[in-house]
Structure 1
Amino acid sequence: MNDEEKADEIEGRRYPRRPIVGVGVVVVRGDRVLLIRRGKPPRQGQWSLPGGAQELGETVEEAGRREVLEETGLHLERVAPLTVVDLIDRDEAGEVRFHYTLVDLVASSVTGEPQAAGDAADAVWVSFDDAARLPLWNETHRILGMARTRLHEGLFDE
């Protein structure tokens, strides 16, 4: 998809008739979490979790795996649901400008180091403590805290 098609797609998401389902993935390796620097709107230039819109015919898990692969080149091992967040933005008149239902997953990666691609300008591993000090979206901080707690509770224990 070229830049013009991307702009049209983003424009088509304004004032939607129904929510758009997106997926975010907290990818962990040991005590580190994967963050991407967004290369395109929305929140271009900001650090974020890898993710994007779910495509028709795709499960949430498939969407998460595809987005992580597209943005970082990493293949995921275990994937588990974490939380659901609604992001609703209203204009000055109170009309819904954007409405995303974001399904967040937590996952462990299998192989390799992240290589930024697709919508990601950069992709890096950071400790959970360092991520907590970064200027991330408030929901991202909350989601990272939730993931850290679930992992300490043994989310992926056999």
Structure 2
Amino acid sequence: MKVSQCLWFEKGMDEALRLYTSLIPGSSLDWGSALPAESPSGPPDSVKIAGFTLGDQRYMAFQAAGRPGAFNHCVSIMIECETQAEIDKLWEALGEGGQYEQCGWLRDRWGLAWQINAKRLGELQKGPDRAAAKRVTEAMLKMVKIDIAALEAAARG
């Protein structure tokens, strides 16, 4: 049994998947095609499907008009970054044409929600010094883009 997430794009799926897989190491476009003319899903060439991998996660995507609803925060893709440079790169590339939000969240230009997070945030929040963890969390809640140096400064008090 295999499990993968499926993303429904109303338009721009090919561009989105090329961007996503170019940004995240270990990613690939695995397969893709337009459904044949006899597809019951719509007129010829109106439906596309693709399989892709982001890091260590499998996804399927399809593009078709009439999407039942927009992407929302109930499902997001979270990326845990090792460095501030990784955060900055993903933040700019995925956020271009989209919308930046609080606490490391953004919506890309296709409306998909992303959490661009720091591995260090989790380490600081899970540490034995609960007062430091609280300061880190309070600092993070005031951020838009995650700032590792500011989180470490908050931990130190």
TM more than 0.5:
no
Higher share in strand: 1
Higher share in helix: 2
Largest Rg, 1 or 2 = 2
Q: Taking structure 1 as the reference length, what is the TM-score of the superposition?
A: 0.25
Q: Taking structure 2 as the reference length, what is the TM-score of the superposition?
A: 0.25
